[in-house]
Every structure is written in structure tokens, then in C-alpha cells.
Amino acid sequence: MNGKAPISLINELRLPAIKVASQDVNNLPFLRYLARRQWPMILSTGASSMAEVVTAVETILSFGCPSLAVLHCTSSYPASAEAVNLRALTTFREALRLPIGYSDHTTGSAIACAAVGLGACILEKHFTLSRQLPGPDQQASLEPDEFRRYVSAVREVKVALGDGIKTVRPEEAANRAAMRRYLAAACDLPAGHIIRNQDIALKKNLAWTGS
């Protein structure tokens, strides 16, 4: 750090946001100090109760933080699927009314993809050059090729989520015309005939071979 205090270095770097680790969720003096600096903040919440998260969020917002996002996290390295409790993202979104994200300590990308589906707009994932290196986080980290696939997977999910508006997509237009059923006469109908249910059939284009 060239002899400089961490906060001085952060000021010089002009970082877009400060990430606060889970270990400081209950460090309210520290949270107040950061909030007073009026930096955007990202708060991780591993090994925390909902009451502790709410207290931390209220503290940060009441002391001047202009922008806050909250990450759900399971402080286990690696975290098992059973320990993830991913529905906490929904709890956060509904209770906190803030941008939410997921600090991912699982292996693979499946859980992160599910988190995106539940509304996570931030993903934090540990990166390593090799899981054979020493350190407690290595088994929850991804190597370069794995990280590339991870990013690709979550981006594909994000695109697939769309805008949520149910409409006929441009890619469906031709198939819609071919596959939809249309009213047709079930038999020859003489002029002046009063049409009954049994006179009508629902047909679709015979060229359609889909389902």
C-alpha cells in the first residue's frame, strides 16, 4: 500500500463502490464510517441473521450512503447446495427494496444461474489460477477456463429471462401462422344453412410438422 492507509488508497483509486465483507455486518462503527464517506457500497451477509442484515442496512443508509446493494452469501468454502438457501434472495428483494446479489461459494455455475433467475443483479465469485494453491478459498474458486464458462452461462440466463412481457416473439411468427388452428367447414354447407357446432372443424396447416 506504499505506506498509505487503506481509506487514503481507496480515495486515490476512485473505486466505483466499496465491498464490505460478511465479517463486518455487525461492525456498525465501521459501517457508519464508510457510509459517511458517501461511497456506494456492496454488503455481503454470510453467517448473518435477517435482523443483523436489516440493522446493517438501516445503519448504512441513515449515515449518508448514496447507493447500497446487498449480497446473499453462505460462509462455507465450498458451500453445498443444501446450505445455499437461495430463496433468501427473494426475502432480501421484498424486505429491503434494494439491488440484490449473490456471493457464490459453490462449485460450478448452476447455483449462480438460479440466483440470476431470482433477481440477482450482482454476482461475486472467487477466482484462482489453480485450486492446488494454498488458502481456504481455493476449493470455492474457479480456474480461468471454468470462470469463462461460468460467465457465459450466467449471461445466457440473463438474456433468456427477457422482459417478462408475454407476446408473440419475432422468432415465433412464421410457426404461429403454420401451427395455429383455424375454423373450417366440416362438410359442404348449402347457402342459407344455419351453422351448428358439428358443422365446424378446427384445422391447422398441413405443412406444419412441429408439435
* Amino acid at position 73, single letter: C
Could you tell me which CATH class the domain 6-161 is placed in? alpha beta
Is residue 111 a contact partner of residue 81, using CB atoms and an 8 Å limit? yes
Residues 18/42, Cβ–Cβ less than 8 Å: yes
Cβ partners under 8 Å of residue 55, min gap 6: 26, 28
Give the pLDDT of residue 1.
43
Q: Which grid cell is 5?
A: 492507509
Residues 17-60: pLDDT tens digits?
A: 999 999 999 999 999 999 999 999 999 999 999 999 999 999 99
Which of 169, 45, 162 is closest to 95 using CA atoms?
45
Weakly modelled stretches of the chain, pLDDT under 70: 1-5, 206-211
Q: What are the tens digits of pLDDT across the range 172-181?
A: 998 888 888 8
Q: What residues does each domain of the chain span?
A: 6-161, 170-203
Q: What is the pTM of this model?
A: 0.85
pLDDT of residue 205: 73
> Which residues is 20 bridged to in the sheet?
43
